[in-house]
């Protein structure tokens, strides 16, 4: 498989991410499958920022430790097997605009990788389309100067790659955050409410910028408590709503999570994980919130916890979450992380057209009596009137309540309502909505890696180097798909969990739900996502 890993590094404010994205798009359009990821500290100027693009003629799903070609803006060098001096400032000045030095470096990179400069120039034209035409002209000139300089001076250093030689059809470049945002819209989300927090701020930016086109309302509210409670109000009012935050903001939303649980109000929460506790490492990745998401808020109530592994799953699950929340009248938590959210993948373009139906909305008449909103039913789901309709008057109550919603401290009523709510878990597990854990690689293997969420990419990329090894990937974690998981592991002799936390939270969950103790674990909690090389090395150590 032809593959290369290109990286650009510089200070914050130098346009590292923009340059990286342009490089990635150029590679994508040249027929390469790509995965782009950015590393940056929590500051606006200075520091050390990077953007890496791994490209392959076969699908790539993760980053790579080994860098083949590094553009270092600080020292004006391109580093392959040895550093090559590139007169960035001089060539940028020749283009007529000193600010084009990144473009010079990218032009030179195209020459060294063998990417068609015309494709890069087209990407430049699109990137600067809204600006004065002279910007595009200068950047085109800069790209050409960089390309020509490298072609002339570093001809013998050119990477020996066989270009894919075909264009990718129906493939797009998308990050997990954008996929989550679009999936939610596809699922009928009409209200998005958030308070900025890395790594999910891009969802807020994307949806706010496109709100009019997408026919949705976006609100940046006063704090995460206001965010969650306003979304619950909108959900009570009949609007499919979503919020997104990271662990700190989610901690503030926890009381509202229980509110959605007891009032049986649909709510979708994206929890974009990053290392914690408290402020932790804001701009880095982690998977430390799995058990928190499953157990957050006092006492017990049903919820669904999902964990997409790539943008395609992110889109599908964000759409599904909107429907699940309404159908089962409960909170749905989507566990994402910085790796998925801010990682740019090559993915199949999602379909443009989507259909949805409304669930469990009560047909109300003109009855002058209160409506039995919390009627005990076999499924645990009760018809829900929407405020404003005659005949549907009810009280949604944060207190324990009777079938009409009125507060009660009666022991029998309490048990009835608890049982009714928890019944939904059984209903969900028996439904077609459940997404079972899935095997990648051989159906039966000597070694089975068990993982969840965004680790999928690194493990998939490691599998070709791991003989007789397969992956069980959980995209749905709660309610735990017990029967499906037991069936999957029945013929797998050796299980090893792979997780981005320090204590093996999925292992604990599996032990709790199945009684199966998985002894072997590959864990990582240094703030970085898994690389395929680390999965391979980790297995050797066990």
Partner 1 sequence: MTARVTKLSPTWCPGCGNFAILGAIKAALDQLGLEPHQAAFVYDVGCSGNMADFVFAYGFHALHGRGLPPAAGIKLANHNLKVFVIIGDGGGYGEGVSHLLSLARGNHDVTVLVHDNFLYSLTTGQKSPTTPKGQVTPSTPAGVIDEPFNPLATALTNSAAFVARGFAGDIPHLTKLLVAGVKHRGFSLIDILQPCPTYNKSRPYAWYREHIEYLDKIAHDPADLEAALKLSLRTDRLPIGIFYRVPRTPWHENFTLLKTGILADSAIDKIDLTSVLDEFK
Q: Which positions from 251 through 280 interact with partner 1, judged by CB under 8 A?
A: 255-256, 259, 263
Q: How many residues belong to the site for partner 1 (CB under 8 A)?
A: 73
> Quick one: 398 or 516, whose CB is closer to partner 1?
398
β-pairing, 476-478 with 304-306?
antiparallel
CA distance 64 to 70: 13
Tell whether the torsion through CA atoms of 92, 94, 98 and 99 is positive or negative: negative
> Quick one: 82 or 355, whose CB is closer to partner 1?
355
Instruction: Select the residue interacting with partner 1 from 388, 411, 443, 490 (CB under 8 A).
Output: 388
Write down the least CB distance from residue 329 to partner 1, Å: 14
Write down the least CB distance from residue 402 to partner 1, Å: 10
- Residue 389 CB coordination number (10 Å): 16
Write down the least CB distance from residue 124 to partner 1, Å: 15
> Quick one: 19 or 287, whose CB is closer to partner 1?
19
229 contributes a contact to partner 1 by CB under 8 A: yes
Instruction: Select the residue interacting with partner 1 from 84, 208, 217, 436 (CB under 8 A).
Output: 217
The residue among 100, 433, 381, 342 whose CA lies nearest residue 264 is: 381
214 contributes a contact to partner 1 by CB under 8 A: yes
Write down the least CB distance from residue 319 to partner 1, Å: 9
Instruction: Select the residue interacting with partner 1 from 3, 157, 372, 389 (CB under 8 A).
Output: 389
Burial of 436 (0-12, 13-18, 19+ CB in 10 A): middle
3 contributes a contact to partner 1 by CB under 8 A: no
Identify residues 143-182 at the interface with partner 1 (CB under 8 A): 172-174, 178, 182
CA distance 72 to 132: 28
Contact 308, 317 (CB under 8 A): yes
- C-alpha distance from residue 13 to each of 18, 95, 124, 200 (Å): 10, 21, 19, 20
Bridge partners of 425, per DSSP, are: none
CA distance 139 to 23: 14
> Quick one: 237 or 442, whose CB is closer to partner 1?
237
406 contributes a contact to partner 1 by CB under 8 A: yes
Write down the least CB distance from residue 131 to partner 1, Å: 16
Build a one-symbol-per-residue string for 180-199: x at contacts with partner 1 by CB under 8 A, - elsewhere: --x--xxxx-xx-x------
Instruction: Select the residue interacting with partner 1 from 31, 56, 146, 235 (CB under 8 A).
Output: 235
CA distance 469 to 466: 6
CB burial string 198-210: b at 16+ within 10 A, e below: bbbbbbbebbeeb
> Quick one: 86 or 186, whose CB is closer to partner 1?
186
392 contributes a contact to partner 1 by CB under 8 A: yes
> Quick one: 149 or 371, whose CB is closer to partner 1?
371
> Quick one: 317 or 522, whose CB is closer to partner 1?
317
CA distance 457 to 473: 10
Build a one-symbol-per-residue string for 510-539: x at contacts with partner 1 by CB under 8 A, - elsewhere: ------------------------------
Identify residues 423-442 at the interface with partner 1 (CB under 8 A): none
Identify residues 350-379 at the interface with partner 1 (CB under 8 A): 350-358, 368, 370
Contact 259, 398 (CB under 8 A): yes
> Quick one: 224 or 520, whose CB is closer to partner 1?
224
221 contributes a contact to partner 1 by CB under 8 A: yes
> Quick one: 120 or 236, whose CB is closer to partner 1?
236
- C-alpha distance from residue 395 to each of 175, 297, 299, 376 (Å): 41, 22, 21, 16
393 contributes a contact to partner 1 by CB under 8 A: yes
Write down the least CB distance from residue 135 to partner 1, Å: 19
The residue among 406, 419, 431 whose CA lies nearest residue 327 is: 431
CA distance 52 to 60: 13
């Amino acid at each position: 498989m032809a593959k290369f890993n290109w990286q650009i590094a510089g200070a914050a404010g130098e346009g590292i991410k923009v340059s990286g994205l342009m490089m990635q798009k150029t590679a994508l359009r040249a027929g390469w499958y790509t995965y782009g990821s950015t590393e940056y500290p929590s500051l606006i100027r200075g520091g050390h920022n990077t953007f890496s693009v791994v490209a392959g003629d076969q699908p790539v799903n993760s980053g790579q430790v080994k860098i083949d070609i590094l553009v270092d803006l600080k020292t004006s060098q391109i580093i392959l097997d040895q550093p090559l001096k590139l007169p960035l400032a001089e060539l940028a000045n020749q283009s007529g605009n000193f600010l084009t030095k990144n473009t010079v470096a990218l032009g030179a990179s195209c020459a060294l990788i063998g990417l068609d400069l015309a494709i890069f120039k087209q990407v430049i034209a699109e990137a600067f389309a809204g600006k004065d035409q002279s910007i595009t002209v200068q950047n085109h000139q800069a790209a050409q100067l960089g390309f020509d300089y490298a072609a002339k001076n570093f001809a013998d250093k050119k990477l020996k790659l066989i270009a894919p030689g075909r264009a990718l059809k129906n493939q797009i470049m998308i990050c997990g955050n954008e996929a989550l945002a679009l999936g939610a819209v596809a699922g009928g989300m009409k209200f998005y409410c958030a308070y900025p927090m890395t790594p999910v701020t891009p969802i807020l930016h994307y949806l706010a910028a496109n709100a009019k086109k997408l026919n949705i309302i976006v609100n940046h509210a006063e704090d995460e408590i206001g965010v969650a409670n306003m979304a619950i109000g909108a959900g009570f009012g009949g609007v499919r709503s979503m919020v997104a935050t990271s662990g700190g903001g989610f901690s503030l939303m926890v009381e509202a999570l229980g509110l959605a649980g007891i009032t049986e109000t649909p709510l979708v929460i994206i929890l974009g994980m990053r290392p914690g506790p408290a402020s932790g490492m804001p701009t880095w990745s982690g998977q430390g919130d799995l058990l928190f998401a499953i157990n957050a808020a006092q006492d017990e109530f049903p919820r669904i916890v999902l964990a997409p592994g790539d943008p395609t799953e992110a889109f599908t699950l964000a759409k599904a979450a909107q429907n699940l929340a309404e159908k089962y009248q409960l909170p749905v938590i989507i566990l994402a992380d910085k790796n998925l959210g801010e990682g740019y993948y090559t993915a199949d373009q999602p379909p443009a057209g989507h259909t949805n139906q409304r669930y469990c909305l009560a047909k109300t008449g003109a009855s002058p009596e209160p409506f039995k909103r919390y009627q005990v039913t076999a499924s645990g789901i009760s018809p829900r009137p929407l405020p404003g309709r005659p005949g549907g008057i009810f009280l949604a109550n944060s207190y324990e309540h009777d079938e009409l919603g009125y507060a009660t401290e009666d022991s029998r009523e309490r048990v009835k309502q608890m049982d009714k709510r928890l019944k939904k878990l059984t209903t969900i597990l028996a439904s077609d909505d459940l997404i079972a854990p899935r095997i990648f690689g051989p159906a039966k293997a000597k070694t089975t890696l068990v993982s969840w969420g965004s680790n999928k990419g690194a493990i998939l990329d490691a599998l070709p180097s791991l003989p007789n090894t397969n992956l069980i990937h959980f995209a749905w974690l709660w309610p735990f798909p017990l029967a499906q998981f037991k069936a999957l592991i029945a013929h797998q002799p050796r299980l090893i969990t792979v997780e981005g936390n320090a204590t093996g939270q999925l292992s604990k969950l599996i032990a709790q739900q199945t009684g199966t103790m998985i002894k072997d674990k590959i864990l990582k909690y240094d703030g970085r996502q898994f690389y395929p090389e680390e999965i391979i090395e980790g297995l050797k150590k066990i």
